[in-house]
Amino acid sequence: MNAMKKLQYCIFLLSAVFISCSEKEEFPVDKVMVEVSTLEFEAEGGVQSFEVKTHKNYIMWDVESTVDWCKFKFSDPNGYYSPNKIFYGVGSRSVTIEVLPNEEGKERETDLVVRWNADGQGLEPIYVKTKQKFKYSTELSVSPQEIDITTNGTRPILSIEADAYWEAVDIPDWLSLNQEQGFGNGKITVRGKGDESNSGKFTITTQGKSIDIHVRKWGKIEAYIETNGADNLDGILFQEGLYNITKKLKINGWMSTYDFSVLKKMLVLEELDLTDIQFRSGVNELPPYALTDGKFRSILLPKNLLALNTGVFSSCPLLQSIDIPEGTLLLGSFAFSWCTSLEYVTLPNSLKSIDTAAFSHCTSLKEIHIKNPKPFTIPNIVDFQIKNSCTVYVPKGSKEKYQNTAGWSDFKNIVEE
């Protein structure tokens, strides 16, 4: 072999060695290669694939996901796709992953771990980062937005309508929610903690909107009771230990004549709210002498009330004012007699009749406010001296009518308002 041929042969050998070394450096025999380092998904999720390549077809490898929202899809012998959190492969092939819709209200990510073992040697894994965006809310509504938590365990339920992730935040420590976050429509049951009365708010929020929920929790000093049927009030007061400590009481539900008599046994009760009660008798009237001798300082009467019968609030010496609700037709005789602290009375437009001595011996009475511009005749409803000292306020344009109507004409001070 002449010198020229020897030189060409050496150059060929060197080139082969260089190419061989370059190939090994680019794709070592004992490793696998992944074409992608990051996969990105929209909030709705979806399916993407990436390639895993090996130098030899017998190299075994696997890819693992550590989260439930990112899984692999592979074909079984029957051609069906099944979700799984680990994918096994041999040689070069494609890997398909499925990402579920993002219901977390924030961007999330995870690492897919590619592992293999060549010639019995453990090697460093490859990580494929998987990122997913979140969906901004365009719709959020919550109902109701004002709730009462009763003393005897009623648990209000909030209905939420949303098109994305939502969360309850800024929850007072005296409240407990059965669910503090969710995706889409949902319901939250609200419970109170402790015996004290509290009021405050928490917020239902999404990335785009927020709604405040105002809460009043009634304790034992200020109690709110739902009777769930007539003749139950006595048992509830006893069970909850409210008889001797409750100063302010709101009642919702059915009440009987017996239930009214129970209220008079509450030794320290000062404020009574009957706005939302229902009458078991079917007749929306407070029974005769139902709350006589009570120690109430203020009373809110039922909004569906038609009549206050004889002596219903007689001898309630601490009662300071009374507002008869619109819709009431009759004020019975002696209804408020001997309410010696009563100063202010409001009579509705609907009232058609006031019976004798309805306000007799109300020695502190200062003002009577009347909503009806058309006066009707009344008997003696107050003591003689009160007619001189009490001011009767009537609608504009009706003063002269009252001055010329029997019973009202006896009052010396009639003023329009």
> What one-character-per-residue DSSP string does 203-229 give?
EEE-SS-EEEEEEEE--SSEEEEE-SS
Q: Which of 257, 261, 299 is nearest to 282 (CA)?
A: 257
Question: Rounded mean pLDDT of 134-150?
Answer: 84
Give a yes or no: residue 17 inside a domain: no
What pLDDT is recorded for position 178? 93
Percent of the chain residues past pLDDT 70, beyond the cut: 87
- Give yes or no for a contact between 310 and 291, defined as CB atoms under 8 angstroms apart: no
| Shared domain check, 343 and 269 | yes
Torsion angle in degrees (nearest 10) through CA of 118, 124, 126, 129: 160
| Shared domain check, 316 and 171 | no
- Top mean pLDDT of 36-40, 112-116, 317-321 is at 317-321
What pLDDT is recorded for position 184? 83
Residue 275 scores a pLDDT above 90 = yes
| Shared domain check, 251 and 198 | no
Q: How much helix, strand and coil, in percent to the nearest 5, is found in the chain?
A: 10, 40, 50
The parent domain of residue 159 ranges over 140-217
Question: Which residue did the predictor score with more confidence, 127 or 214?
Answer: 214
- Give yes or no for a contact between 69 and 62, defined as CB atoms under 8 angstroms apart: no
Question: Which residue did the predictor score with more confidence, 15 or 33?
Answer: 33
Residue 392: which CATH number?
3.80.10.10
- Top mean pLDDT of 223-232, 243-252, 298-307 is at 298-307
Question: Rounded mean pLDDT of 200-223?
Answer: 90
Give a yes or no: residue 15 inside a domain: no
Give a yes or no: residue 282 inside a domain: yes
| Shared domain check, 270 and 240 | yes
Tell me the pLDDT tens digit for each residue of 341-361: 999 999 999 999 999 999 999
Question: Rounded mean pLDDT of 3-11?
Answer: 47
Residue 148 scores a pLDDT above 70 = yes
| Shared domain check, 213 and 266 | no
Q: Which of 59, 96, 227 is nearest to 153 (CA)?
A: 227
| Shared domain check, 144 and 128 | no
Residue 80: which CATH number?
2.60.40.10
Tell me the pLDDT tens digit for each residue of 21-36: 444 444 455 578 888 8
Q: Three-state SS for 245? A: coil
Q: In whole angstroms, give the CA distance from residue 349 to residue 145.
A: 32
| Shared domain check, 260 and 193 | no
Distances (CA, A) of 321 to 137, 242, 304, 366, 388: 49, 25, 19, 10, 20
Confidence of residue 53 (pLDDT cuts 50, 70, 90): confident
| Shared domain check, 113 and 153 | no
| Shared domain check, 155 and 126 | no
Of the candidate ranges 60-64, 129-133, 208-212, the one whose mean pLDDT is the lowest:
129-133
Number of domains making up the chain: 3
Give the end of a domain, one of 107, 132, 157: 132
| Shared domain check, 270 and 387 | yes
Q: In whole angstroms, give the CA distance from residue 351 to residue 325.
A: 9
For the question of whether the overall pTM of this predicted structure is more than 0.75, the answer is: no
Give the end of a domain, one of 217, 244, 268: 217
| Shared domain check, 165 and 85 | no
Confidence of residue 219 (pLDDT cuts 50, 70, 90): confident
Give the end of a domain, one of 217, 240, 258: 217
Question: Rounded mean pLDDT of 211-222?
Answer: 91
| Shared domain check, 183 and 202 | yes
Of the candidate ranges 1-5, 100-104, 129-133, the one whose mean pLDDT is the lowest:
1-5
